[in-house]
Amino acid sequence: MTFVATNPTTGDKIASYPMMSGEDVNEIILAAQEAHLIWSKCKIPKRTEMLTVLGSILRKRKEEFGRLMTLEMGKPIQQSISESEKCAWACDYYAEHAEHFLAPVPAPTDATISYWTHRPLGIVLGIMPWNFPFWQVVRFAVPALTAGNAVLLKHSPSVPGCAEVLAQIFAEAGYPDGLLTNLVIDLETTGEVIDHPLVRAISLTGSVQAGRSVASRAGAAIKKCVLELGGSDPSVILADADIDDAVASCRLARTINSGQSCVAAKRFVVVEPVREEFEAKLVTAMAATVMGDPLNPASDIGPLAREDLRDTLHNQVQRSVSDGALLLTGGEPPDEPGWWYPPTVLTNVGPGMAAYEEELFGPVASILPVCSEEEAIRVANDTAYGLGASVYTEDSARGERIAAELIDAGNCFVNGIVKSDPRLPFGGTKDSGYGRELSPLGILEFTYPKTIWVK
C-alpha cells in the first residue's frame, strides 16, 4: 500500500510513497526512545543550537519548499514561501527564549531549597494536517524537541513529500538520529502508535471527529493530548466599523490559503445599519479575487487540496441555498481539470443552514445579518466551535471589551484577521479543542512539572 501525492491544480499524480510495516514502526519507536533518553540529558543551550541552523535552512531554501507545498496541496506560491519564512521565525523565537521558559521556578517553603522544574514527557506523536504542511509541523515539533522530547510525525497522506523533506531538514540541522522520524502509516497503525507504551503524548491538528477519536484512545491510555480542531470563526462588523477596511480584512481572512484554514473567518455577523454597504463591497472584493495557477504569483487563490473537499464544500453551499440563503457571487465549480472552487458569498444565512452550523473549508463567505451589537455577540457565540473571532469597530476600547470578555474563542482579534504568532498562545475552546501551541505555553505543554524539596 502506498500514499499518492496528487497535484490538485491538474489532478495528476506527483509521486507515491510506500507505507511502513508494523515491524519498521516498532523499531522507529524504540530508536526514538533511545534518542530521547540521550537528548533529554543535554543542556538547553545545546538543544537550541540546532534551531538556528534549522531556521537558516528554512529561509535559504524557502522557494524550493514553497514550490513543494504548492504542488502537493495547491497553496498560492507566495503564501507557501511565506510559510517557510514563518517556520524560521518560530525557530528564532524558541532559540532566543527556550532557556528562560524552561528555567526552574523557585518557590520558598520550609525547605532549605524548593522549586519546580519542567521535565520532558518522552516520545510525542504529531498527527498533522495538509493545509499548512510545514508550519503545523514546525510549530509543534520545535518546542516539543527543545523541551527534550522525541517526535514521531504522522503527516497527512495528501502531503507525503512535505513530510519526507521536513524529516530530512531536521536531520540536516543536526538533530540526532531517531529524534524526529516521519511515519508513513495508515489510520489503523496510527492507533497502534498511540497505544504504544513508549509514546507519552499526542499533538493533533485536524477535524473534530479526529479529535474525539484520538482523545478517546489517548485517554484510555492516560496520555496527554493537545488538540487544535476545526473552527467556524465569526467576524463581527459593528455599525461604527470602517467598512472599507473591514471588507479588505474580511476578504483576505476568507480567501487566505484558498479559504482552507481552521482559523479563517467564515461567518460575517453584520449589524443592519451597515449590512447593505458591507455586503455590496464584499461581493465586489470576492468577485475580484484572482483564482488561478497557484504557481503564478498573481493568483490570490488556488484549487482546494482534494476533490472530496471541493465536493463537500459545494454540497454545503447548495444545501444552504436550498434552505433559504441567497447566493450573491460564485457558487459553481468550473468545468476544468483540478479541484477549483470560486470565491463565493452567501447572505441571509441563518440557523439550521449548513453555512451557519458547519465549518466551510474553502473560499465561501457567509453573511449573517443581525439587528444589534447584543444580537451580534449572541450569534457569534452560537456555534459549537471556539477557535478564533474578529471584531471590527472604530472604538478600539469597545472592541477590546467584546473580544476579551464576551466572545467565546481562544483567539480574538480587533480590526484584523486572526493569525498565529510564535509570541502568542494559539488554540481553542469548546469543540475547537484544548491545549495551546506557541508562546511559553506551547513549549510547556509537553513537559511535566516536577517539584523538588531539599531540607
The count of other CB atoms within 10 Å of the CB of residue 394 is: 13
Q: Residue 60 has which C-alpha cell?
A: 535559504
**Contacts by 309-315 with C-beta closer than 8 Å and gap 24+?**
309/260, 309/339, 309/361, 309/362, 310/339, 310/340, 310/341, 310/362, 312/361, 313/341, 313/360, 313/361, 313/362, 313/364, 314/341, 315/354
d(CA 346, CA 315): 14
CB atoms within 10 A of CB 96: 12
CB count within 10 Å of CB 315 equals 11
CB of 185 closer than 8 Å to CB of 153:
no
Q: Which residues pair with 153 in a beta bridge?
A: 126, 182
Report the SS3 class of residue 365: strand
Q: Which residues, 6+ apart, have CB-to-CB distance to 406 below 8 Å?
A: 377, 381
Paired sense of beta strands 150-154 and 180-182, if any: parallel
Distances (CA, A) of 186 to 22, 105, 110: 11, 41, 53
CA 41 → CA 36, 49, 123, 166, distances in Å? 9, 15, 15, 25
CA distance 282 to 297: 23
Distance of CA 126 to the CA centre of its chain: 13
Which segments within 238-339 are labelled E, that is strand? Answer: 265-271, 326-329
Cell of 253: 481572512
Asked whether the beta carbons of 393 and 238 are under 8 A apart, the reply is: yes
Q: Which of 180, 183, 199, 200 is nearest to 140 (CA)?
A: 180
CA–CA gap between residue 155 and residue 138 (Å, rounded): 12
Instruction: Write down how long the chain is.
Output: 455
By annotation, the residues acting in catalysis are: 228, 262
